[in-house]
Amino acid sequence: MSKTDDAPDQTAPPTPGAEPPTAPGPQPGERRLVGLPACAGVAIGPVFRAVEPPAQITRSKVHAADIPAETARLEAAILQSRRQLLKLRGRLSVLPEDSQGEIAPLLDAYLQMLGPSRLIRGAKLRIQERLASAETAVMAEANAIATALLARHAECNPDPTAPGPQRQADEVREIGRRLVRNLTRAPFRSYSGAKPGSVLIAEAIRPSDAALIDPARIAGVATEEGGTDGHTSIILRALGIPSVLGAPGLLQSVQPGDSVVVDGSAGIVTLRPSPASQNSARRAVAGFARERQLLGRLRRLPAVTLDAEAADLQANLELPVELPLVAQSGASGIGLLRTEFLFMNRDTIPSEDEQEAAYRNVIETMAGDPVTIRVLDWGGEKEIEALVAAGLVPEIPDTNPALGLRGVRLLLRRAELFETQLAAILRAARAGPVRVMLPMVTDVSELRAARAIYQRVAQTMRDRGETIPSPLPELGSMIETPGAALSADALAAEADFFAIGTNDLCMYTLAVDRAELDVAHLYDPLHPAVLRLIRETVEAAHRRNIAVSLCGEMAANPSITPLLLGLGIRSFSMGASAVPRVKQAVRSTTIDDCQRLTWQVMKQSDPSRTRELLDQFGR
């Protein structure tokens, strides 16, 4: 079973048993593309194509001593561009044959240019001989090749409008732009020109791009690249924007002035929809709005099982714009405040004052409900330009970033970053109940080192006469690697609480990159290994009498809620929009029944059998 099959919470309409949005079959004149359902819901609107801003090349020259590093940057961008194109190529099979025939040769031509081509040789020579920066070298070489192609053709062929050479020149420039984009890591940024109700169409949206989307303006999103479990998807779901990612052929098929329907539940994008498709999409939009209203009524009801066991349902917060959604959802706190947003889309590290203001805003808005602030989790797919600009992380990404200097590892290496964030949290904590959480802990020594820094920061503040909460806010650990789960006993002796991050736990346990489309079918949180690690962690927490919650995407899936209750979890944190459905699941069951289900599930070796048991339980 693939992960996309495994995400009914995100892709199904919110009320169990509610009518799914039904679209008629393909209608004459329209074009349908298949992608991955990233956020449930339907949107209809005019296309807004994310225009790339001109490449921001901040450095045109390098010093002779930097030649090897600059060449290595170029190599890394080539590798990344190749990976992107190969991924796209792998997805072509979902397209009709004629579209495959159009797009495949183009992708092959791009891939060839990223091999030992004139473009790459020329760019490297420009770095070595002219001391050009990698992006300047690529742009200059791509332009030189394109100009030469057109000039040579003009000499021997009088028809300047012949398509061949122009197309080749465009291809060279396009691959040059891709390389420069990967070198500069430029987000698209330019969403402000979109008319309200537009559907954003882009080649790819990075998490930092997604963080800039205003849900009041952008009704839906469709992209050519991307998967359903990456951070971009998480942000889009948090914003509640119906989205389809990874729809190959999208950019080639879309024309200026098109209208489009994005069906984020089915993973279908319909360009130039017929009147019948438009009507059906409008009905689906209205249906989703009604369902949201129905679920809204659950807001004030408690999350208690039929046998009176209470569960704590909190919200994950990606961006401050989600705060009103958290209030509407009926969440009883913020169980995971991801602080990466503060560091994204900027060139400088946020100051202590700026961070304090952001945390205080969240804490004050939650008006006495608890807020768990996770300190910066840089690394993996979460690229943050400001850290590169400040020289705190290497410009050339590690070969295997998921296994590199991620989360708490970076914070311990760059203590100044950690200290500033802790001081800002301690100051903001005067405004309400707060907990501090460490990401990517794998070893007890990291917890000890982090606590020593925490106490030092607190002492320095007290010495300066600042008032900080006493006792200090609890310091907890995420459990998101098999190593952490299997040594949960030792970690529980040092941590004040645990939060199980099943997104990474699943990725590291099954060795499947959650943003990697080709292996997405292997990413399965119901795999027995993942479930055993969760059980191990919960039991260790209970033995040591510390709180344990679960805050990965798994917490948002109401069909898994009974299993997690049966495993002993009573505290969950999820995207705000999922809270009502999970509450409904809690309110419809008893702990006895959940424990019986869990007992059966933990005997299974096949996740699809587990899925059947969960489905039967829900009926």
Pairing mode of beta strands 312-317, 571-575: parallel
- Among 605, 499, 597, smallest CA distance to 554 is for 499
What CA–CA distance (Å, rounded) separates 288 from 269?
Answer: 18
Contact of residue 551 among Mg ion, ligand PEP, none (CB under 5-8 Å per partner type): ligand PEP
- Closer CB to ligand PEP, 126 or 382, in the complex: 382
Site string for Mg ion, 317-346 (x = CB under 5 A): ------------------------------
Tokens found for residue 69: 């590093």
Output the smallest distance, CB 501 to Mg ion, in A.
4
Helix spans in 133-230 (H): 134-156, 163-184, 207-210
Strand partners, 260: 45, 271
Cα-Cα-Cα-Cα torsion 380, 383, 389, 391, nearest 10 degrees, comes to: -10
Contact of residue 385 among ligand PEP, Mg ion, none (CB under 5-8 Å per partner type): none
| C-beta pairs of 280-287 under 8 Å, 24+ apart in sequence | 280/21, 280/22, 280/23, 280/24, 281/21, 281/23, 281/42, 281/43, 281/44, 282/44, 283/21, 284/21, 284/22, 284/23, 284/42, 285/41, 285/42, 285/43, 285/44, 287/13, 287/18, 287/19, 287/21
39: left (phi over 0), alpha (psi -120 to 50) or beta: beta
Q: Which helix (H) or strand (E) holds 200?
A: strand 198-202
Q: How many residues bind Mg ion (CB under 5 A)?
A: 3
Contacts of 560 (CB under 8 A, 6+ apart): 525, 526, 554, 614
Q: Which residue is nearest to ligand PEP (CB)?
A: 501
Concerning whether 39 is annotated as a catalytic residue, the answer is: no
Tokens found for residue 47: 């296309």
Output the smallest distance, CB 534 to ligand PEP, in A.
11
Interface with ligand PEP (CB under 6 A)? 336, 338, 377, 480, 501-504, 551-552
85: left (phi over 0), alpha (psi -120 to 50) or beta: alpha
Catalytic residue among 39, 506, 527, 551: 551
Contact of residue 613 among Mg ion, ligand PEP, none (CB under 5-8 Å per partner type): none
Quick check: 207 binds Mg ion (CB under 5 A)? Answer: no
Output the smallest distance, CB 195 to ligand PEP, in A.
32
DSSP per-residue string spanning 206-221: -HHHHTT--TTTEEEE
- Closer CB to ligand PEP, 4 or 316, in the complex: 316
- Closer CB to Mg ion, 209 or 504, in the complex: 504
Among positions 480, 496, 524, 553, the unique one binding Mg ion when judged by CB under 5 A: 480
Quick check: 504 binds Mg ion (CB under 5 A)? Answer: yes
Concerning whether 63 is annotated as a catalytic residue, the answer is: no
Output the smallest distance, CB 575 to Mg ion, in A.
14
What CA–CA distance (Å, rounded) separates 41 from 219?
Answer: 10
Contact of residue 527 among ligand PEP, Mg ion, none (CB under 5-8 Å per partner type): none
Among positions 176, 333, 350, 501, the unique one binding Mg ion when judged by CB under 5 A: 501
Contact of residue 552 among Mg ion, ligand PEP, none (CB under 5-8 Å per partner type): ligand PEP
- Among 261, 197, 198, smallest CA distance to 21 is for 261
- Judge whether 332 and 314 are in contact, CB under 8 Å: yes
Q: Which helix (H) or strand (E) holds 415?
A: helix 415-428
Output the smallest distance, CB 605 to ligand PEP, in A.
24
Length of the chain equals 619
Contact of residue 171 among Mg ion, ligand PEP, none (CB under 5-8 Å per partner type): none
- Interface region with Mg ion, contact rule CB under 5 A, candidates 39-47, 303-311, 456-464, 494-502: 494-502
Q: Which helix (H) or strand (E) holds 107?
A: helix 97-113
Q: Which residue is nearest to Mg ion (CB)?
A: 504
- Closer CB to Mg ion, 8 or 501, in the complex: 501
- Closer CB to ligand PEP, 70 or 377, in the complex: 377
Catalytic residue among 231, 506, 527, 594: 231
Contact of residue 494 among ligand PEP, Mg ion, none (CB under 5-8 Å per partner type): none
Contact of residue 485 among ligand PEP, Mg ion, none (CB under 5-8 Å per partner type): none
- Closer CB to Mg ion, 422 or 478, in the complex: 478
- Closer CB to ligand PEP, 78 or 574, in the complex: 574
- Among 199, 260, 277, 281, smallest CA distance to 26 is for 277
Contact of residue 502 among ligand PEP, Mg ion, none (CB under 5-8 Å per partner type): ligand PEP
- Interface region with Mg ion, contact rule CB under 5 A, candidates 21-29, 77-85, 466-474, 480-488: 480-488
Output the smallest distance, CB 335 to ligand PEP, in A.
9
Quick check: 13 binds Mg ion (CB under 5 A)? Answer: no
Q: Which helix (H) or strand (E) holds 280?
A: helix 275-296
Output the smallest distance, CB 606 to ligand PEP, in A.
24
Residues 375, 303, 525, CA angle at the centre, nearest 5°?
55
Output the smallest distance, CB 55 to ligand PEP, in A.
29
What CA–CA distance (Å, rounded) separates 274 from 295?
Answer: 32
Output the smallest distance, CB 506 to ligand PEP, in A.
8
Cα-Cα-Cα-Cα torsion 607, 611, 612, 618, nearest 10 degrees, comes to: 160
Q: Which residues are catalytic?
A: 231, 551
Residues in touch with Mg ion (CB under 5 A): 480, 501, 504
